[in-house]
Amino acid sequence: MTSSPARTSPARTAKGARGDLFDPACPTRRLLDRIGTKWTSMAVKVLAEASPDEVRFAELRRRMPGVSQKMLSATLQSLTRDGLVARRVEPTVPPRVHYRLTDLGLSLEVALATVRAWAEEHMAEIDRADHAHADE
């Protein structure tokens, strides 16, 4: 019986190297947790539709039904920290805060748009399977 070679932890790989989703220590998992939420997908979509223009916080909240101020704030902070969104604050009273997608954020929109389209196309099938499973 041969053993497989030990995996190198992504934290120890060269900067810019691809991660290994199946390695529990891989940062890819944390990133997927952050970008895989409905609020992230909605925020990125709204900002992509406005690109290259900026969108103010209040407008984002209006265009994302159901999102709380706290959740939208946390989502935007995460996207900004990850370099997907740029934030600009006007020094007014109260401050006006504007957001726009970075080039990296625009590249994420391409992937998220594909996932959203898949979900919209297959939602009826998923609902039928879910209901059939619930009836068992």
The pLDDT assigned to 70 comes to: 97
Beta-carbon count within 10 A of 55 CB:
21
The pLDDT assigned to 132 comes to: 87
SS3 76: helix
Taking 90 as the threshold, does the pLDDT of residue 11 lie above it?
Answer: no
Query: What is the token pair recorded at 81?
Result: 């920290």
Taking 50 as the threshold, does the pLDDT of residue 9 lie above it?
Answer: no
Asked whether 11 and 29 are in contact (CB, 8 A), the reply is no
Taking 90 as the threshold, does the pLDDT of residue 110 lie above it?
Answer: yes
Beta-carbon count within 10 A of 83 CB:
11
Taking 50 as the threshold, does the pLDDT of residue 6 lie above it?
Answer: no
Dihedral sign computed on CA atoms, order 44, 85, 76, 19: positive
Taking 90 as the threshold, does the pLDDT of residue 107 lie above it?
Answer: yes
- Reported pTM: 0.78
Mean pLDDT in the chain? Answer: 87
94 upstream amide cis, omega within 30 of 0: yes
Cα separations in angstroms, 72 against 1, 9, 58, 62, 91: 52, 33, 10, 11, 21
pLDDT grade for 2, boundaries at 50, 70 and 90:
very low
pLDDT grade for 30, boundaries at 50, 70 and 90:
confident
